[in-house]
Amino acid sequence: MKVRSQVSMVFHLDKCIGCHTCSIACKNIWTDREGAEYMWWNNVETKPGVGFPTQWEDQEKYHGGWELNDKPKNPELKLKLQNRLQTFGNLFSNPAMPTMDDYYEPWTYKYGDLFNSPLGDDQPTARPISRIDGKPIDIEAGPNWDDDLGGSNIYAVNDPLLATMSAEEKQRLFSIEQLFYFYMPRICNHCLNAACGAACPSGAIYKRAEDGVVLINQDKCRGWRMCVSACPYKKTYYNWSTGKSEKCILCYPRLESGQAPACFHSCVGRIRYLGVLLYDADQIEDALKVPDEQLVERQREMILDPHDPKVVAAAKESGIPDGVITAAQNSPVYRYVKEWELALPLHPEYRTLPMLFYVPPLLPVLNATGANGTQRVETDLFSSLENARVPVRYMSRTLAAGKDELVIKSYQKMIAVRIYKRAETVGDVTKEEADAALAKAGMTAEEAEAIYHLTSLPNYGERFVVPPYSREGDIEEVYDPQQRKAEMGFGKRQGPQRGL
């Protein structure tokens, strides 16, 4: 057993209000620079919708992630993008490279015209201009262009996941009086089997052993752009000005000083949880060489119980400090992912072992059946899952590689918690009914209470259990992470500038 520690994340989609505060917090710290304007290391998508970049989930277009060969006897993983030799053939022009058109062209406005225009009969206007060549542009796309347009037959209809759904399910998604949508904030998943790192010809992308943060060494990146294509989540971005790729760094300078990453810290809905997961690195390969429907369970198996003395001993053996083990024991992520099995990874079928997990959104499900507010909580809720307004299949395509049972199990637990708390606080549900709901979801009253607490009432320290770092001992000097703000690249001692 080779124990490693990973700072992992849970996003509770039921609580996301789609305010984009996370995106702005990230943008202001890391990507308000030339060449990075179009990057949104954190973005919030409306689902169903095309996402950012447009249709990123369509891997037939972008060739991201890993593929399993179709030999069950001798399973092999390979990058969907290309093999090692093909990489050299495609070095000069990457055929699967998304271009700026797939994202959007960043713009600003000619504010100067408001002040400097000559006197005339018309109001001066500030025309939008491209932030690349300064020419006037018509703004036709943006990072959240289809915001709140779930059900739209212009935008949401192009969601790549809809291709896998039945006509009847599609009908439900687009019937005008039953429209729904939910928000999905996305950052880098800091995968265990990162496709971006595997595709990098220069070997510039690496995982920090201490906390599992995936980083691009800016000194080693040569701008071959393979990571941009290979990441199935499209979370590495090419900086068109510096000629280097960049990605979410999980605010490691903040983590190292005990703070949660900026997007976590600023989250208005408090949907985000951060904590350590201990996992067995020896199992990575085998956990990925299984059929789609087993992927989530195998990933859960890899995640180790930090309370188990055997795991603790093995973790110490593998060089994990006591403080990190303690942090793992207090990790809210461990509870959501492994203990309660509420949170699920985003598109596990890409086989990168993403370490960001989502609690599926319940609210649209709740509103699905029952006539105008006469829904009986304890009886109607469970039956509503089968004909829910969000087809369970849409969620299972997103979060469980198509395995409906996992999503249903997660939903059943969340519903049971609601029934249980309603019996306690409102009283229109009897205790017997609540107990029956708990039994059906296979959980105890204590567990329901714990889920309720961590979902609704957690304080900062419960949501973010940042492991102790000893960076001052690991590196010679400590730099002010704000020092290089608004310059190109980050963490550089010399002022980073475009090469000759």
Partner 1 sequence: MLEIMLFVVFPYVALAIGIVGTIYRYLTNQYSFTSLSSQFLENDLQFWGSTLWHYGILPTTFIHLGGFFLPKLMFIMHSTPETLYLAELAGKVLGIMALVGAGIMLYRRLTVSKIREITTPVDWIILSLLFGQVFFGLVLAFVYRWGATWFLHTATPWIDSLATFQPAPQYVTALPLAHKVHFLTGFLLFALMPFSRLVHIATFPLSYLWRRFQLVIWTRRKASS
Residue numbers of the site for partner 1 (CB under 8 A)?
A: 2, 4, 84-85, 87-88, 91-95, 97-100, 130, 132-135, 193-194, 197-198, 200-203, 205-210, 218-225, 228, 238, 240-244, 281, 317-319, 471, 474-475, 489, 492, 494, 496-500
Minimum Å distance from CB 84 to partner 1? 6
C-beta of 238 vs 336, nearer to partner 1: 238
C-beta of 130 vs 367, nearer to partner 1: 130
CB atoms within 10 A of CB 303: 20
Minimum Å distance from CB 97 to partner 1? 5
Minimum Å distance from CB 299 to partner 1? 16
Minimum Å distance from CB 347 to partner 1? 19
Minimum Å distance from CB 222 to partner 1? 5
199 Cβ contact partners less than 8 Å away, ≥ 6 residues apart: 79, 81, 82, 87, 226, 227, 229, 230
Nearest to 214 by CA among 186, 193, 184, 239: 193
Amino acid at 120: G
Minimum Å distance from CB 353 to partner 1? 10
Amino acid at 97: M
Minimum Å distance from CB 93 to partner 1? 4
C-beta of 17 vs 475, nearer to partner 1: 475
Measured N-to-C along each axis, helices 392-399 and 404-425 cross at an angle, to the nearest 10 degrees, of: 110
C-beta of 102 vs 293, nearer to partner 1: 102
CB atoms within 10 A of CB 234: 23
| Residue that has been written with the tokens 């009086």 in this structure | 177
- Asked if 202 contacts 224 with a C-beta cutoff of 8 angstroms, the reply is yes
- Asked if 38 contacts 103 with a C-beta cutoff of 8 angstroms, the reply is yes
DSSP SS3 for 378: helix
Minimum Å distance from CB 169 to partner 1? 35
C-beta of 237 vs 358, nearer to partner 1: 237
Query: Degrees (nearest 5) of the Cα angle 407, 463, 29?
Result: 105
C-beta of 200 vs 377, nearer to partner 1: 200
Minimum Å distance from CB 285 to partner 1? 10
C-beta of 70 vs 476, nearer to partner 1: 476
Minimum Å distance from CB 188 to partner 1? 15
Is the CA virtual torsion 462, 463, 468, 472 positive or negative?
A: negative
CB atoms within 10 A of CB 481: 18
C-beta of 89 vs 291, nearer to partner 1: 89
90 Cβ contact partners less than 8 Å away, ≥ 6 residues apart: 82, 226
- Asked if 57 contacts 161 with a C-beta cutoff of 8 angstroms, the reply is yes
C-beta of 458 vs 491, nearer to partner 1: 491
Nearest to 87 by CA among 189, 222, 241: 222
- Rounded to the nearest 10°, the torsion over CA 110, 116, 121, 123 is 40
Query: Half-sphere exposure (CA, 13 Å, Cβ side) for 377?
Result: 20
C-beta of 97 vs 290, nearer to partner 1: 97
C-beta of 374 vs 493, nearer to partner 1: 493
- Asked if 85 contacts 16 with a C-beta cutoff of 8 angstroms, the reply is no
Give dist(CA 325, CA 314) in Å, integer. Answer: 11
DSSP SS3 for 284: helix
Minimum Å distance from CB 132 to partner 1? 5
Measured N-to-C along each axis, helices 431-441 and 445-456 cross at an angle, to the nearest 10 degrees, of: 90
C-beta of 208 vs 421, nearer to partner 1: 208
CB atoms within 10 A of CB 309: 8
Residue 474 tokens read as 């690991």
Give dist(CA 349, CA 335) in Å, integer. Answer: 23
The DSSP symbol for 29 reads I
Concatenating the DSSP letter of every residue in 112-139 gives HHHHHSPS-SS-----EEETTT--B---
Residue 100 tokens read as 């700026």
Minimum Å distance from CB 463 to partner 1? 26
Minimum Å distance from CB 22 to partner 1? 25
C-beta of 28 vs 99, nearer to partner 1: 99
